[in-house]
Amino acid sequence: MRLLRLLPLLLILLAPASAFAQAVNSGHIESELVAQQSTVAPGATTYVGLRQKISPGWHTYWRNAGDAGEPTAMKWTLPNGWSAGDIVWATPRKEVTGPLTDFGYEGEVILPVPIKVAADAKVGSTIAVQAAVSFLVCKDVCVPEDAVLNLTLKVGPAAVTDAKWGAPVAAALAAAPKAGAVQGAYQWQRGKLTLALTGAPLKGADLSEAFFFPYSGAVILHPAAQAIERGPDGLTLTLSPNAQVAQAGPPAEIAGIIVVKGGAFEVTAKAGPAPAGASGLGPPPSTGGAGKGGGGLNVLTAIISAVLGGLILNLMPCVFPVLSMKAASLAGHGAEAKGARAQGIAFLVGVVATFLALAGSLLALKAAGQALGWGFQLQSPPVVAALTLVMLLTALNLSGVFEIGTSVQGAGQGLASRSGLAGAFFTGALAVVVAAPCTAPFMGPALGFALVQSAPAALAVFLGLALGFAAPFTALAFMPALLNRLPRPGPWMDGFKHILAFPMYGAAAWLAWVLAQQAGSLGLARLFGAGLLAAFAAWLFGVWQRRGAQGSAGPRQIALGAGAAVAMIAAFAFAIAGPSQTATLKSEPWSVARVAELRAEGRPVLVNFTAAWCVTCQVNDRIAIETAGTAQAFKDANAAYLVGDWTNRNPEIEAALTQQGRAGVPLYLVYPAAGGPPKTLPQVLTEGIVVKAVKEAAAK
């Protein structure tokens, strides 16, 4: 009898150390339930993770999907007395598609769920748990997928960690946003939500890429920049409110997670004064002495830190492309010390003037209530677009497409010329503008200190940063021993100059990438068009220069110069212009019967099968369908616009998609007025594609 009583325990000890589950492939996701513990104890809480292995290029969604999408949902089937809690959501990443920003996951993710074991669960029993899971998985199209997942657990006198998945589930729990470590409050100021946060994890942390993910999708504009203002014990974020919040007023509380380098932390902020040390809101914390604040620095140590940071900033990747211009300039001097010194001073003046101009603008804007940080100029898409063209033109100049000022070969004869000094000044100014997004060691505390001080103290810190940044090039220009070792100018410098063009092309490509993150595919397309115009203008200018050098002046040369100027102006105007104005296009709900009625009337019809969670659909709506040009084309053609909304499951829409050989949205069908089969439009639209299709459908 005693042996019979011990038999269940012996069976448990001899059984495999892993819970049993089977993965399900639903199309673009392989999912399964994975157990933290293969053997669970009665009355205890265990964690079962939903593992998603997502196909490359596709993504699923966080609890707040963002501007489009739907979060993963789970419906549990458990034995009597067992219960499941809420999903422990992993920290999401931003998914930027055109003007939309979504929050979700790529690759592989585990989402743990707490499972409460029944207190009367029988030791030695085997328990089956089941979850019906629905996903939305998106790439160029969005596809809803479902899976029914099963897991078998054992009940024992004590819990036993699962051999295979125990550690990964524990790691997912450890990496999930932490509760209680960060405190916050928010204020409503001039139509902005200002969120101030403090806590031990934020003190001394790298906050340069801090981002707040709200739990609710109806609080802030997700694509809007979140301006960061550092404080000694935390930070303040300035958020752009959602239209609902802007109309109804601030909510009772704002909840979400703050993500910084090194971790993510849950936040629940109520309206009220900022906690001490967060910066920005309310009175600053007492420093115990004049001239202090910002991490315990004083003015002298802040200036020293700024000088050191400026020196190191020369080595940062964002500054390296401009070093090509410095190198070309020094190499052109040969052993001529007088001209080199003049160039060094001009470079120093350019750096100092630009640093102080940017610092003065930043301090003035902050005094006016704007929450900005260093590098704020690159938060403006027009500025980024203009800088991209400047980098492209500089690279084309170094490649020999056209020349500015004295040639490299002739630099030895004109070192003190006005054009040479102006070039050195411009090099210093451009180096500062491009260097602004980078933060070198020692710079962070110095800048954080400067931005909470009086204007004179702040400008003194920025001056130290400028002097440190300019010091290496200027010092080299004043060292005859080093200058004498430089090779003398000669034909070799043409090849050297051409090689130095490539870092500038790289800088232009990097800035184009920055613009794509800010303005999406439409902004990037405009920039590419502007770059083409700028390159054409540079080529025309080069032809004009060469003909002038040959003495072939006349109407043709005048036309070339005028054409280059017009193309250059057009390039910059096109680059900094905003997207086309949108317009509301009247729509009707889609149905098979309504399509038939409209076709019987002889009207062209555009059917848009879409969904609120489909990212590509929303982008196409904003940039191609809901525009003034498209609305006018529909009016001229007497066309009808039908929307098949698949946000919620609809058997009729599913049947229509299947009939067209599709498994997801978007799908765009244009029915011609004269009858016949519909034309299928591309999944990625432009206004021109839609307008052309409507006109062709009306003409048939």
User: What is the rounded average pLDDT of the residues 579-587?
Assistant: 63
Residue 73's pLDDT is: 95
Omega cis (within 30) before 666: yes
Class of domain 2-169 (CATH, top level): mainly beta
Mean pLDDT of 437-456: 61
Model confidence at 559, pLDDT cuts 50, 70, 90, reads: confident
| pLDDT of 278 strictly over 80 | no
CA distance 312 to 468: 8
Q: 14-18, 189-193, 647-651: which has the minimum mean pLDDT?
A: 14-18
Look at residue 219 and tell me whether its pLDDT is greater than 80. yes
At residue 425 the predicted structure's pLDDT band, cuts being 50, 70 and 90, is confident
Report the sign of the C-alpha dihedral through residues 82, 83, 84, 85, in that order: negative
Within 10 A of 352 (CB to CB), how many other CB atoms are there? Answer: 20
- Residue whose entry in the numeric block shows the structure tokens 């422990």: 88
Using the 8-state DSSP alphabet, how is residue 377 labeled? Answer: G
Which pLDDT belongs to residue 451? 60
Same fold for the domain at 183-271 and the one at 588-699? no
Looking at mean pLDDT, say which of 122-136, 189-203, 413-427 comes out highest: 122-136
Does the pLDDT at position 393 exceed 70?
Answer: yes
Domain locations in the chain as residue ranges: 2-169, 183-271, 299-576, 588-699
Proportion of the chain above pLDDT 90, given as a percent: 30
Q: State how far the Cα of 419 lies from the Cα of 301, in Å rounded to an integer.
A: 39
- The per-residue pLDDT for 289 is 35
Between 322 and 666, the higher pLDDT residue = 666
pLDDT given for residue 82 in this prediction: 95
Task: Band the pLDDT of 623: cuts 50, 70, 90.
Answer: confident
Q: Which of 30-34, 539-543, 554-558 has the lowest mean pLDDT?
A: 554-558
Reported confidence tier of residue 256, pLDDT bands at 50, 70, 90:
very high
CATH classification (class only), 588-699: alpha beta
> Pick from 219, 192, 57, 71: which is nearest to 135 by CA?
71
pLDDT at 287 (0 to 100) = 35
What pLDDT does 667 receive? 92
Instruction: Answer yes or no: is pLDDT of 361 > 70.
Output: yes
pLDDT: is 340 or 404 the higher one? Answer: 340
More confident residue, 346 or 265: 265
pLDDT for res 34: 96
Cα–Cα nearest to 430, from 527, 354, 344? 354
Residues in Cβ contact with 527 at an 8 Å cutoff, skipping those fewer than 6 apart: 385, 388, 512, 515, 575
Closest CA to 376 of 388, 390, 393, 359: 359
Higher-pLDDT residue of 92 and 4 is: 92
DSSP letter, residue 623: I
pLDDT at 318 over 60: no
**Per-residue confidence at 367, pLDDT binned at 50, 70, 90?**
low
pLDDT on residue 681: 93
Which range has the top average pLDDT, 107-111, 140-144, 203-207, 567-571? 107-111
Indicate the range of 418-432, 599-613, 665-679 predicted with least confidence. 418-432
Closest CA to 670 of 660, 678, 662: 678
Per-residue confidence (pLDDT) for residue 15, from 0 to 100: 46
CATH match of 183-271 with 3.30.420: no
Residue 334, pLDDT score: 47
Average pLDDT across the chain, whole number: 79
